[in-house]
Amino acid sequence: MIFYKTKDEVDLIKKSALVLGKTHGEVAKLIKPGVKTKDLDKVAEEFIKDNNGYPSFKGYNNFPASLCISINDEVVHGIPSNYELRDGDVVSIDCGVCLNGFHSDSAYTYAVNTNSEEVKRLLQTTKDSLYVGISQVRVGNRIGDVSFAIQDYVEKNRFSVIRELVGHGLGKNLHEEPQVPNYGKRGRGIVLREGLVIAIEPMVNMGKRNISQSSDGWTIRTADRKPSAHFEHTVAIVDGKCEILTTFEYIEKEYKL
């Protein structure tokens, strides 16, 4: 079942998303060599709680942290640890905030002092594909229109889209219907309606699309161990059009791709 949101509920999600955006900004200040990923997680959790929210991921299906931090060939769901960031790392930060009973969810991928033009192109293509997908969100379109747009853009740039992991609806629950794949065909899937709130999140590999799960039961890695990137926004259909509820503004005050 899809839970369509009222404008008042969308406004509550937007308030959650503002705390989320500012949390990402606090983390972005610290993305540099020598910083432990568990310290990034601590900063995020404290900031969220200081702003009357709760980290959506912590305890979700027993996940142990507030951030998913995925390094290099790790795609998503990486667990913060004593690992210290180093030059050349590709670092995906995924975070969710629950505030006033409503969740928001977004992700951003960083390159730490990289000289690799191909890594930079991977990150830029993935980020751009997110907005290409968002451009298809409006009343009367279908989920497949969003999915196709992302896949088509990524593959034209000679990267690959993961099939097993998808975006999702969200609201009072972190994960709700519908699923939002990053691949598909135009004109397929549910019709997009007023009040729909979804997280769109392209996960894009430099190499082949295949993935595997690590022994920790959480971390997803590329099968060929090439880098992967992940960008995500929470969006809503309001007055027939797409409104982006999350923001990268606070990240991009601190970091530029």
Instruction: Identify the CATH number of the domain in which residue 81 sits.
Output: 3.90.230.10
pLDDT at 221: 98
Average pLDDT over residues 196-216: 97
Is 257 a domain residue?
Answer: no
Closest CA to 207 of 154, 148, 128: 154
* No. of helices (H) and no. of strands (E), the chain: 5, 15
In which band, very low, low, confident or very high, does the pLDDT at 23 lie, cut at 50, 70 and 90? very high
pLDDT at 130 over 90: yes
Average pLDDT over residues 162-179: 98
DSSP 52: T
How many domains is the chain built from?
A: 1
Distance CA 188, CA 214 (A): 33
Distance CA 214, CA 12 (A): 36
pLDDT at 149 over 90: yes
Is 228 a domain residue?
Answer: yes
pLDDT at 184: 98
Percentage of residues in the chain with pLDDT exceeding 70?
100
pLDDT at 257 over 90: no
Average pLDDT over residues 161-190: 98
**Distant-in-sequence, close-in-space partners of 213: CB < 8 Å, separation ≥ 6:** 219, 220, 221
pLDDT at 232: 98
Outline where DSSP puts E strands in the chain. 54-55, 67-71, 74-76, 90-99, 102-111, 160-161, 167-169, 176-180, 197-200, 203-205, 211-213, 220-222, 228-230, 233-238, 241-244
Is 2 a domain residue?
Answer: no
Is 167 a domain residue?
Answer: yes
Cα dist from 68 to 4, 25, 60, 105, 145, whole Å:
27, 15, 12, 11, 28
Is 62 a domain residue?
Answer: yes
Task: Give me the sheet containing 160-161, strands edge to edge.
Answer: 160-161, 203-205, 228-230
Outline where DSSP puts E strands in 5-62. 54-55
What residue numbers bound the domain in which 40 lies?
7-252
Average pLDDT over residues 47-64: 98
Average pLDDT over residues 69-76: 98
Average pLDDT over residues 112-117: 95
Closest CA to 94 of 183, 201, 173: 201
Q: Sign of dihedral through CA atoms 240, 166, 4, 107? A: negative
Both tokens of residue 154? 């990524």
Is 59 a domain residue?
Answer: yes
pLDDT at 64 over 90: yes
pLDDT at 62 over 90: yes
Is 1 a domain residue?
Answer: no
Is 168 a domain residue?
Answer: yes
Q: What is the pLDDT of residues 214-235, one digit of tens each?
A: 999 999 999 999 999 999 999 9
**Opening angle at CA 232, ends 231 and 237, nearest 5:** 145
Calculate the average pLDDT of the chain.
98
Contact yes or no for 200/167 (Cβ under 8 A):
yes
Cα dist from 247 to 26, 98, 152, 232, 235, whole Å:
13, 16, 24, 10, 10
